[in-house]
């Protein structure tokens, strides 16, 4: 996906060929966004996929994880669709 590469076997993420250390939750979010690249993924769907079977996380937990991903991978990689969810553009 452009400068971003995700290796599901190794659960590894790289940007421009440089490995990026991501947490398991960050990886789960990024994987779900990449799986549906080009489409808006609803917040509720991300929460369900990233925290399955767990109590619903605090209101800011998802935003905290997204912030971490943006800091590590680039601020413009994940787009916020206000009131709906997040989008990883196809490229």
- Residue 17 three-state SS: coil
Domain range summary for the chain, segments of one domain joined by +: 4-82
Contact 29, 63 (CB under 8 A): no
Q: pTM of whole model > 0.85?
A: yes
Confidence of residue 1 (pLDDT cuts 50, 70, 90): low
∠ CA 36-72-38, nearest 5°, is 20
Contact 86, 66 (CB under 8 A): yes
For 43-91, the pLDDT digits (tens) are 999 998 888 877 778 878 999 999 999 999 988 889 999 999 999 988 6
Domain 4-82 CATH (choose: 3.40.640.10, 1.10.10.10, 1.20.1090.10, 3.40.50.12780) = 1.10.10.10
């Amino acid at each position: 996906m452009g400068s971003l590469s995700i290796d599901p076997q190794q659960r590894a993420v790289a940007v421009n060929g440089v490995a990026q250390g991501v947490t398991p939750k960050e990886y789960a979010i990024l994987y779900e966004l990449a799986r549906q690249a080009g489409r808006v993924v609803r917040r509720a769907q991300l929460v369900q996929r990233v925290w399955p079977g767990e109590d619903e996380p605090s209101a800011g937990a998802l935003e905290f994880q997204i912030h971490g991903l943006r800091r590590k991978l680039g601020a413009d990689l994940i787009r916020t669709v206000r009131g709906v969810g997040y989008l990883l553009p196809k490229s």
